[in-house]
Amino acid sequence: MSYPVLLTLHLFAALIFIGTVFFEVLVLERVRRMVPPDAMRVVERAIGTRARSFMPWVILVLFGAGIGMAAHYGSALAHPLTSLFGLLLTIKIVLAFSVLGHFITAMVSMKRKTMTARRSHFIHYSIFTHMVLIVLLAKWMFYLH
C-alpha cells in the first residue's frame, strides 16, 4: 500500500482513538461530578459498549498503517541513535506499543470483569498522557530533525 494511503488511514484512526480518549478524560470525568451515580453508570456502560464495538478495528487500522509506515523509515529505525528523527520515531513506537498494552489490559480486565474504577481511571489517564506525548513526538520528528 502506498505511503500516502497508509498515512491517511493512520491519521484518521489516530483522530478517532485520541478523540475518544480525550472525550473520556476531559469530558466524562467532569460530567461524573454533575450526574447522579446511577445515571452515570448507565451512560458509561452505553459509551463503553459502543467504544468496544469499533475500537478494536480502529486499533487494528492504527497499528497496521503505523507498521506499514515504519517500514518506510527502516534505515532510521535500524540505527535510531544516529539521528534525532530515528530516536524520536523509536520513542513514539515504544509509547504506541505501551498504549496497545494498556488497551489489551483494559479489554482483558473488562472481559474477566476485574476492571475496577481505579484501574479504569489509571488506564485512561496513562493512555491520555501517552497520546499527548505521541502527538508531540509526531510533530517534533519532522520539525526538529
What residue numbers bound the domain in which 98 lies? 3-144
pTM of the shown model? 0.87
Given a cut of 50, the residues of the chain with pLDDT beneath it are none
Q: Which grid coordinates are listed for 11? A: 491519521
Angle at 88 between CA 83 and CA 138, to 5 degrees: 130
What's the pLDDT score for residue 145?
Answer: 67
For residue 110, what are the CA distances in angstroms to 27, 33, 48, 107, 126?
22, 23, 10, 5, 17
Type and span of the H or E element at 22: helix 3-22
In total, how many domains does the chain have?
A: 1
Q: How many helices (H) and strands (E) does the chain have?
A: 6, 0
